[in-house]
Amino acid sequence: KWQRGMETLAGRVNDMSHIIDVCDREADIYEYLAYQQQHQHRFVVRASDNRNVLDDETSTGKLHDVLQALKPVACYQVYVAQRGGRPARTAHVALSYTQLTIKKPQRANAEKTLTLNVVYCQEVDQDRKDPLQWILYTSEPLPDAAAALRIVRFYELRWLRDRPSRL
């Protein structure tokens, strides 16, 4: 469904270069990420799987382990809307970013590896039962912390309708 949506959009828009597709965890599908790269689409996709990543040419690690080892480069506040029994709040997160190569799952029908830019946001209040944690794959370049913060902001804006009017 994610790919069909992008194909429909591409059929209606002459120039896709100014569009960034922002997707939640449901879009963390290896073939969809490969499709986005193959068509040079711009995207931000929240990861859901703890994928295998190449640490170097031959060794493999897990995505979460690699990201946990990164040093934060910035701090950020994220407004978390009320949902279900969870009250609205402001989360204080540490932000880091890197470029990783993820390996194709056995069942996938796509390239053997995908190299993606990754932004990692983790709430610093470790006393929380369910701290906020976002792993965001993106096609956007990440030359510095400001660019990584911009990706977080794109992802956060998907909640625009739920935000208080402080913008």
**With 60 as the cut, is the pLDDT of residue 163 above it?**
no
User: What is the β-pairing status of strands 60-62 and 133-138?
Assistant: unpaired
**In which band, very low, low, confident or very high, does the pLDDT at 161 lie, cut at 50, 70 and 90?**
very low
Determine which helix (DSSP H) or strand (DSSP E) holds 62, and give its type and residue range: strand 60-62
- How far apart are the C-alpha atoms of 85 and 72, rounded to whole Å? 30
- Residue pLDDT, tens place only, 139-154: 999 999 999 999 999 9
For tokens 């208080």, the residue is 164
* Tens-place pLDDT, residues 86-108: 888 888 999 999 999 999 888 88
- Write down the mean pLDDT value for the chain: 86
* Mean pLDDT, residues 54-60: 70
pTM assigned to the model: 0.87
Cβ 81 vs Cβ 132: under 8 Å: no
* pLDDT tops 70 at residue 134: yes
Q: Which helix (H) or strand (E) holds 149?
A: helix 145-156
CA-to-CA distance for 124 and 119, rounded, in angstroms? Answer: 16
